[in-house]
Structure 1
Amino acid sequence: MRSWGAGVLALCAALALAGCGGTSPKDPKPAAHTSTGASTPPASLADVAMPRPGKLKPPILSADILVQSQDPLPPSLVAQAKGIKSVVAVDQFSLASFYSEEDEVTYAAVDPSAFRYFAAPATAQTAEVWNRIADGEIAITPELKAELPITHESVTMGNDDDAETVHIGAFAPLVLRSKISAIVNERWADKLHMVKNNALIVSTGEKSPLTAQKNLRKAVGNRGSVTLLALHFDINAPQTAILTGGSVARAVGSFTYTANADGTVNPDKSWVRAFIRTETVPIIGRVTCNKAMIPQLRAALNEVVARGLASKIHKNEYGGCYVPRYIAKDPAQGLSFHTFGTAIDLNVPGNQRGTVGTMDRTVVKIFEKWGFNWGGNWHYTDPMHFELARIVAVR
């Protein structure tokens, strides 16, 4: 049986943590173990543990292009990517997102022995990070440490009530300039209901990635997105959103989308046709939401009316449901959960972020009964916000 170190490993690197003492990517220096709570990970990790990677054999690779699809990438496409003249190396893995409170977290399920070569140099050279990933823990970027609700050194992989909880093994910079902010090993893919092998990371070494990106876009076509991992955000590049977490995530579907300069996004029309509906509900009237949410929203509002609380929800202060955009309209912050049409904002003026808010607590309990989480319970509150957390049968 493996021996678990006490606490979470924190990797101190100049690119990741300010004030860590001038560590450079070529001179990795793991910090002392630090504990944020219990030091014993869940016993269930034995089910997802895999062999630890062996010794790192240089060179470490640059991560230049990210390919992602809603479906597994076929072997023929992977072979085609390997055959591009400027491509030095590729690695296929699984990529998806979950929401923690209102933050989108994009995570990868990988073979640690292969994927580590594409990580930030300091992280790639720190064996303990990859050992812990192989053992079944999760590594997350240091920036997420302050943003995620962490309980007993663990993070819940989604807002759904039935989402899996994974023990944190390390805080470390992962893939530079990419949206990947968490990594688990590939044996988690089934438990997390990920689409397997739907992503590819590509290194072009010292050669420009632009030619490879162009060739990959031709090869991928409309089957997915091809993103240059550069310091700028390519607003014209199609992106892919694959949500995981639990039963709600599986009900709302996945899609590709394009971005607009104003921070809004355009999910593909076929997904919108399949999942987004405009219907009439009590109190508010016409709403546009994901079809998975509307029955529970209607049931919650019917109960609010039946219990004489309709005046506690102000129709003219409704803030929307399906609103496809980035959080704060900033691509760096990821997609808003409203993009999936499974969140709703009520009584907006009196319930701003970071406040206790004025939302009636009996109304909150009614919504929770009907499968919603309330943003007023978050560590950084958002009391106007309700989002679907579990599927409830409505009769």
Structure 2
Amino acid sequence: MRGRRRVAAAATAALLAGLVGLAACSEPAARERPDPAPASPAPEPTASDTTPPVADTDHAVDPPGERDGRLWSADVLVQWDKPIDDALLARIEDLRGVAHTERIGLGQVSLENRVLTVAAVDPGAYRHFTQAEVADLQEAWDRVAGGELAIDRTVAERVADPETGMVRLGADDAPSLHVGAYTPQLPTIDMVVNTAWADDIGMDTDNGLLISTDAVAPAGIRKPLQRLVGEDASVQMLDVASRLGLDPDARLTAVPAGGTLGSVVGTFRYQVLGGGRIAPEPAWVAASIRTESVPILGSVTCHKDLFPQLRAALLEVEQRGLADEIDPGQYAGCYYPRFIAGTTTLSNHSFGLALDLNTRDNQRGTVGAIDRDVVAILKTWGFAWGGDWRWTDPMHFELAEVKRVG
């Protein structure tokens, strides 16, 4: 018992140390990148801080106050591509084994080739599904209510600006949020915002449902729940996801939020296969993926909406006498339906919206040797370049803006 108390106390101390902006990062960096530069430490909260902080008055909701009520286990997560129907919710809540539910918004945003899941929540209600140390970390929920972001520290180290503590949720025109708290997240969720942000991010506030089965094994409600919600909904067992990263028996759903990713991809349903591969639903592949010929590279397989801009960009590269700066033999592909190596995170390659050029001399973490005039042309035609990222990937280009061609 004393050992468990020491572990809980250590966990709480670690969470408190992570509050308020991006403090100096002390965890080991991911294997594939160097340590991030530390930002200036932020002050710790004190007992005299009684007024909940409001970082963004335009995106604030009522502060939640102290936790009131019991905690619930986060056992099942259901996701639709539209708001849940009230009548369906009532039928779900009547299912034997369903002890408690909470509606949340779920959307996916693309940050530096990583498709991450954002949850838009009511801070006062959602906190009851988190672990005790997180649920009782009052300042974290006050900061989410005040318009800031709660995020796993490891994710923040990759995507947050180390100097400002801001995270841009998408391409250049996407909103930026300040990191208010580093907190562990529920399986399959990467970051949490309040519901006032949903419209600006381009996501719903109630297309997801958290379910607690309390004392009943979650697997016992899977089949009746799936029959109720239909095949178009994703039903994930979070106890399985916490062990394996994802529930391999779930038919997963990504609903890209706002911007280019949302307008081009639409609802993306897929099944997890072995070896890091995924199987997008055949209807999406048939409607979205094409093999066509483009200048310099020849025949490539990508999302159909990528081709007009890619073709125009490569044609301009040719016309400006720069074709020799792109080596077709070092083209590493566009459409790859799989997770980023060693993760359960989708990349834009899964949607056919990214391509890798001149791979040999443009490895991750380097400035890259790709011709900067070629880079500038691709940027002009709406492609973001991985060489601009905090952890560089100079071979990588991805569609960031839809432009009219011709």
Q: Distance in 2 between matches of 1:197 and 1:157?
A: 19
* 1:328-374 deviations in Å (ceiling 9; x for gaps): 1x4x4311210111101111222222223221111111111111111
Q: Secondary structure at the match of 1:92?
A: strand
Q: Distance in 1 between matches of 2:12 and 2:169?
A: 32
Q: Is structure 2 residue 26 aligned with structure 1 residue 48?
A: no
In the alignment, which residue of structure 2 is the partner of 1:79? Answer: 90
2:189 corresponds to which of 180, 190, 213: 180
Question: Does structure 2 conserve the Cα–Cα contact (< 8 Å) formed by 1:25 and 1:120?
Answer: no
Mark the CA change 1:148 to 1:21 in structure 2 (over 3 Å): closer, same or farther: farther
1:109 corresponds to which of 116, 120, 139: 120
Aligned-pair CA distance for 1:273: 2.3
Q: Distance in 1 between matches of 2:399 and 2:18?
A: 39
Q: Distance in 1 between matches of 2:214 and 2:55?
A: 39
Q: Secondary structure at the match of 1:304?
A: helix
Q: Distance in 1 between matches of 2:216 and 2:305?
A: 46
Return the letter of the residue paired with 2:297. I
Aligned-pair CA distance for 1:52: 1.0
Q: Once superposed, what is the RMSD of the aligned Cα atoms?
A: 2.5
Q: Secondary structure at the match of 1:293?
A: helix
Q: Is structure 2 residue 176 aligned with structure 1 residue 165?
A: yes
Mark the CA change 1:35 to 1:118 in structure 2 (over 3 Å): closer, same or farther: closer
Q: Distance in 2 between matches of 1:191 and 1:164?
A: 7
Q: Distance in 2 between matches of 1:44 and 1:33?
A: 14
In the alignment, which residue of structure 1 is the partner of 2:33? Answer: none
Question: Does structure 1 conserve the Cα–Cα contact (< 8 Å) formed by 2:151 and 2:182?
Answer: yes
Question: Does structure 2 conserve the Cα–Cα contact (< 8 Å) formed by 1:103 and 1:336?
Answer: yes
Return the letter of the residue paired with 1:212. I
In the alignment, which residue of structure 2 is the partner of 1:30? Answer: 16
Q: Is structure 2 residue 291 aligned with structure 1 residue 282?
A: no
Mark the CA change 1:352 to 1:90 in structure 2 (over 3 Å): closer, same or farther: same
Q: Is structure 2 residue 293 aligned with structure 1 residue 307?
A: no
Return the letter of the residue paired with 2:202. H
Mark the CA change 1:256 to 1:35 in structure 2 (over 3 Å): closer, same or farther: closer
Give the alignment of 1:143-154 within 5 angstroms: 143-150=154-161, 152-154=164-166
Aligned-pair CA distance for 1:64: 0.5
TM-score scaled to structure 2, two decimals? 0.85
In the alignment, which residue of structure 2 is the partner of 1:120? Answer: 131
Question: Does structure 1 conserve the Cα–Cα contact (< 8 Å) formed by 2:21 and 2:178?
Answer: no
Q: Is structure 2 residue 338 aligned with structure 1 residue 325?
A: yes
Q: Distance in 1 between matches of 2:337 and 2:14?
A: 40
Question: Does structure 1 conserve the Cα–Cα contact (< 8 Å) formed by 2:59 and 2:196?
Answer: yes
In the alignment, which residue of structure 2 is the partner of 1:62? Answer: 73
Q: Secondary structure at the match of 2:56?
A: helix
Question: Does structure 2 conserve the Cα–Cα contact (< 8 Å) formed by 1:89 and 1:203?
Answer: yes
Question: Does structure 2 conserve the Cα–Cα contact (< 8 Å) formed by 1:112 and 1:133?
Answer: yes
In the alignment, which residue of structure 1 is the partner of 2:397? Answer: 386
Q: Distance in 1 between matches of 2:55 and 2:207?
A: 26
Aligned-pair CA distance for 1:198: 1.0
Q: Is structure 2 residue 240 aligned with structure 1 residue 254?
A: no
2:276 corresponds to which of 240, 249, 263: 263
Larger deviation, residues 279-288 vs 213-222: 213-222
Mark the CA change 1:51 to 1:276 in structure 2 (over 3 Å): closer, same or farther: same
Q: Distance in 2 between matches of 1:142 and 1:234?
A: 23
Aligned-pair CA distance for 1:28: 8.9
Question: Does structure 1 conserve the Cα–Cα contact (< 8 Å) formed by 2:334 and 2:349?
Answer: yes
Q: Distance in 1 between matches of 2:164 and 2:190?
A: 20
Report which of the two has the higher share of helix.
Answer: 2
Question: Does structure 1 conserve the Cα–Cα contact (< 8 Å) formed by 2:110 and 2:261?
Answer: no
In the alignment, which residue of structure 1 is the partner of 2:206? Answer: 197
2:364 corresponds to which of 328, 341, 353: 353
Q: Distance in 2 between matches of 1:32 and 1:108?
A: 20
Give the alignment of 1:171-250 within 5 angstroms: 171-175=182-186, 178-230=187-239, 231-232=243-244, 233-250=246-263
Gaps of 5+ in 1: 1-13
Question: Does structure 2 conserve the Cα–Cα contact (< 8 Å) formed by 1:109 and 1:183?
Answer: yes
Question: Does structure 1 conserve the Cα–Cα contact (< 8 Å) formed by 2:97 and 2:221?
Answer: yes
Question: Does structure 1 conserve the Cα–Cα contact (< 8 Å) formed by 2:238 and 2:247?
Answer: no
In the alignment, which residue of structure 2 is the partner of 1:291? Answer: 304
In the alignment, which residue of structure 1 is the partner of 2:346? Answer: 335
* 1:228-282 deviations in Å (ceiling 9; x for gaps): 0122343231111111252343222221100111211111122222222222110
Question: Does structure 2 conserve the Cα–Cα contact (< 8 Å) formed by 1:139 and 1:168?
Answer: yes
Aligned residues: 371
Gaps of 5+ in 2: 23-38, 43-53
Mark the CA change 1:255 to 1:327 in structure 2 (over 3 Å): closer, same or farther: same
Give the alignment of 1:129-140 within 5 angstroms: 129-140=140-151
Return the letter of the residue paired with 1:234. D
Return the letter of the residue paired with 1:361. R
In the alignment, which residue of structure 1 is the partner of 2:383? Answer: 372
* 1:23-54 deviations in Å (ceiling 9; x for gaps): 26689973385554698xxx992222111113
Question: Does structure 2 conserve the Cα–Cα contact (< 8 Å) formed by 1:290 and 1:341?
Answer: yes
* 1:204-239 deviations in Å (ceiling 9; x for gaps): 112211112222111122121100012234323111
* 1:161-207 deviations in Å (ceiling 9; x for gaps): 211111211111122xx111100011111111113411101111122
Q: Distance in 2 between matches of 1:350 and 1:327?
A: 20
In the alignment, which residue of structure 2 is the partner of 1:11? Answer: none
- Identity percentage of aligned residues: 41
Mark the CA change 1:204 to 1:248 in structure 2 (over 3 Å): closer, same or farther: closer
Question: Does structure 1 conserve the Cα–Cα contact (< 8 Å) formed by 2:88 and 2:229?
Answer: yes
